[in-house]
């Protein structure tokens, strides 16, 4: 009898295996940290290099000349805002959706530059203008960012979100797959 009761008490006090909710919460945090961190770092690396941004945007040769400077001026600040919102968990669904759309536009721009054989530095983390060209690694990296942003747009509920502080309806913090 004592063996059975001691076995039962040990089983009850033993740490449980990770549940699906914990795993998905970890994936959610990793996606927010990864995508938000990349966007924040990319934006900060370009924010104060106006000339480099103009060269980077113009080197893709897709925008009319009148739009190159406004896009080059605004893009780093949009990236910083989206990265900060994702990291903080603010306006999460909208931030993730905008991040996914912007990343899809980046992928389209890089793919057309690669297809056209343009020898440019993509300007993702500063720089811009002439370079070695868009690599497969650049496209794969942005594909992973797109996947993370799409996941967050589809399932914005997760742990450590500032959204949870001001939402009128309480949401479940640990989400199911």
Q: Is the pLDDT of residue 44 over 90?
A: yes
Reported confidence tier of residue 164, pLDDT bands at 50, 70, 90: confident
Report pLDDT for 6.
53
With beta carbons less than 8 A apart as the criterion, state whether 42 and 124 touch. yes
Q: Is the pLDDT of residue 130 over 90?
A: no
The first and second tokens of residue 60, run together, are: 């893709």
Q: Is the pLDDT of residue 20 over 90?
A: no
**Helix (H), strand (E) at residue 56:** helix 50-59
Q: How many Å separate Cα 64 from the centre of its chain?
A: 28
With beta carbons less than 8 A apart as the criterion, state whether 60 and 6 touch. no
The residue ranking higher by pLDDT, 108 or 164, is: 108
Report pLDDT for 174.
46
Reported confidence tier of residue 5, pLDDT bands at 50, 70, 90: low
User: Considering only CA atoms, which of 55, 73, 76 is closest in space to residue 131?
Assistant: 55
Q: Is the pLDDT of residue 127 over 80?
A: no
- pTM of this prediction? 0.82
With beta carbons less than 8 A apart as the criterion, state whether 68 and 76 touch. no
Report pLDDT for 54.
92
pLDDT in tens, 141-156: 999 999 999 999 999 9
Report pLDDT for 165.
83
């Amino acid at each position: 009898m004592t063996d059975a009761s001691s076995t039962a008490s040990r089983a009850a006090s033993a740490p449980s295996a990770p549940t699906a909710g914990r795993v998905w919460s970890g994936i959610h945090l990793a996606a927010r940290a990864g995508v938000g961190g990349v966007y924040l770092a990319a934006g900060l690396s370009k924010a104060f290099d106006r000339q480099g941004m103009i060269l980077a945007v113009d080197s893709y040769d897709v925008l009319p000349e009148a739009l190159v400077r406004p896009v080059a001026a605004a893009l780093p600040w949009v990236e910083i805002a989206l990265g900060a919102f994702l990291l903080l968990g603010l306006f999460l669904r909208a931030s993730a959706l905008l991040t996914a759309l912007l990343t899809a536009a980046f992928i389209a721009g890089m793919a057309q530059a690669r297809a056209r054989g343009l020898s440019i530095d993509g300007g993702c983390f500063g720089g811009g203008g002439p370079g070695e060209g868009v690599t497969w690694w650049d496209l794969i990296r942005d594909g992973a960012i797109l996947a993370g942003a799409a996941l967050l747009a589809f399932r914005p509920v997760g742990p450590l979100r500032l959204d949870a502080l001001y939402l009128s309806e309480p949401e479940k913090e640990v989400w199911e797959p």
